[in-house]
Structure 1
């Protein structure tokens, strides 16, 4: 029953951005083929480095490239330990309209090492990773105001060469942000996903909720602190995380970041990364 409801919600969310496209009145008809002038572009916002996505879209007719140069992921279940190295896990963002953007995510290279706990046997695989298609539809606050919210449905295609158990996955992300006094930003996110099981060739539904806060700690350097949890409806299992990151604007529209996502439970993922974002 839950899976059917999630499927209907997900399909509806995929259709909504394109339905909204025809309903919105775009100032000066800015679009993918008629870009917003640089002098009128919004401040650069990124979906990284925290888990909480930004509710703001890329300006119409402009591109943004965000990537993990390197990401290390450590996982442990009752049956095996998995260490994954990802190189250039990237997200290309393309502004279609005033409030709609499409995103194409891919993993240029992944290396996965799996070790069976009982036997100690190890298997190593590597190659190109999965491809993800996302559509971000801002609902409120894209251009003004202190509150913004968006819908961000996605589908992940199992193109991975390093993960033989990769499967179709998908979900709906709803990011929100408050701009607080003193240049503090408070972000929230709720998310429902349909994901593969770690040790079995089956799927489960998972809920995720985040809370993140950010503030400038030095000139052009932002500090980010975040917490989030996930709940597996199939296993009735909670995992909780504490995250921290630093993002530095080197020049206009170019930022570096480094951070950690640390799972508090023994079977929760531990991730370490550094990356960058660039806007054209």
Structure 2
């Protein structure tokens, strides 16, 4: 329990610090109340559809809305099978300064069906999901260069009405991106999380690392392939994933996407989704 409190104090401090710094920005800098002109905005970058987050922030004074229209999550442990349907799992991103953005994530509707493997009994719940607060602080390469890096701490609040076992969780994400020759992009991410155990209310620490490669397939359509793994330090359990997605630029500030995150081990999640991103 003491370790949990220490972790969340660190996460909270990193969440709050950029907001404090924001108030100290020089007047001539673009900010939430002095938006970047549309003619000077960076190319639209999204944190979806792959697991690897983008190290780039939303331009100051602008917002971006990213969502799963529909996401199906399948899980299986030694004791139960769980199927979860999520509708409008969204993330609102607001640019505070040149290199800082706040994010508010929420699950509009979730329907979860749990099946006990031994008895065969089932339980179905539905309702509003969890709320997640995140701050993205770009450290390198937000405006220029072939390498970018950011810090992305988060806290997930247990507001879910469909998952009554939900608990306060949090972590720190470090996304990176290399721009390679030929308009190829190579993304990396390392992440440390404090999460609830699958079948009980106790907590564990989990490490995640990703590798993603993206490239334009044809005009306005990008293809993304990705692999990542998670390691549960408590259960000493490794989960490997192979992911694939496409992202279609419908308009300058509007993109559609679809993809799959496929866990290789029997206990690893399988995710199937269709979503979109919009910037204003």
CA contact (8 A) 2:22 2:96 kept: no
Kindly state the Cα deviation for residue 15 of structure 1 after the two structures are TM-superposed: 4.0
Distance in 2 separating the partners of 1:119 and 1:175 = 43
How far apart are the structure 2 equivalents of 1:174 and 1:29? 25
Partner SS for 2:109: strand
Deviation at residue 203 of structure 1 after TM alignment: 0.6
| Maintained 8 Å contact 1:261/1:271 | yes
Matches of 1:238 and 1:4, distance apart in 2: 26
8 Å CA contact retained: 1:13, 1:172? no
Do the aligned partners of 2:8 and 2:170 also contact (CA within 8 Å) in 1?
A: no
For 1:213 and 1:2, the matched residues in 2 are separated by: 36
Between the aligned partners of 1:227 and 1:75, the Cα distance in structure 2 is 18
Q: CA RMSD in A?
A: 1.5
Distance in structure 2 (CA, Å) of the matches to 1:182 and 1:5: 45
1:61 is aligned to 61
Look up the match of 2:70: 70
The corresponding residue for 1:10 is: 11
Where 2:240 maps in the other structure, the secondary structure is strand
Give 1:251's aligned residue. 251
- In the aligned structure 1, how far is the partner of 2:164 from the partner of 2:23? 40
Q: How does 1:215-254 map to 2 (within 5 A)?
A: 215-254=215-254
> What is the DSSP-based 3-state SS (H/G/I as helix, E as strand, rest coil) of the residue aligned with 2:156?
strand
1:89-127 deviation digits (Å, cap 9, x = unpaired):
000000000000000000010000000000000000000
Query: 3-state SS of the aligned residue for 1:29?
Result: coil
Cα 1:91–1:127 shift into 2, 3 Å: same
Residues 13 and 151 of structure 1 are in contact (CA less than 8 Å); yes or no, is this contact kept in structure 2?
no
Contact 1:155–1:170 (CA<8 Å) still a contact in 2?
A: yes
The question of whether the paired residues in 2 share the 8 Å contact of 1:60 and 1:98 is answered with yes
Mapped pair 1:187 → 2:187? yes
Give yes or no for contact 1:3–1:205 (8 Å, CA) kept in 2: no
Q: Verify: 1:207 aligned to 2:207, yes or no.
A: yes
Deviation at 1:34, TM superposition (A): 1.1
Q: Give deviations 1:115-158, integer Å, cap 9, x for gaps.
A: 00000000000001111000000001000000000000001111
Contact 1:179–1:186 (Cα < 8 Å) also in 2: yes
Listed as ranges, the gaps of 5+ residues in structure 2 are none
* Cα displacement (A) at 1:23: 6.3
What corresponds to 2:132 in structure 1?
132
Alpha-carbon distance in structure 2 between the residues aligned to 1:247 and 1:103: 21
The aligned residue for residue 170 of structure 1 is 170
Q: Alpha-carbon deviation of 1:2? A: 6.8
Q: How far is the alpha carbon of 1:201 from its aligned partner? A: 1.1
What is the total number of aligned residue pairs between the two structures?
Answer: 279
Shift of 1:81: 0.1
The Cα of 1:6 is off from its aligned counterpart by: 4.3
| Residues 243, 260 of structure 1: 8 Å contact kept | yes
* 2:268 equivalent to 1:268: yes
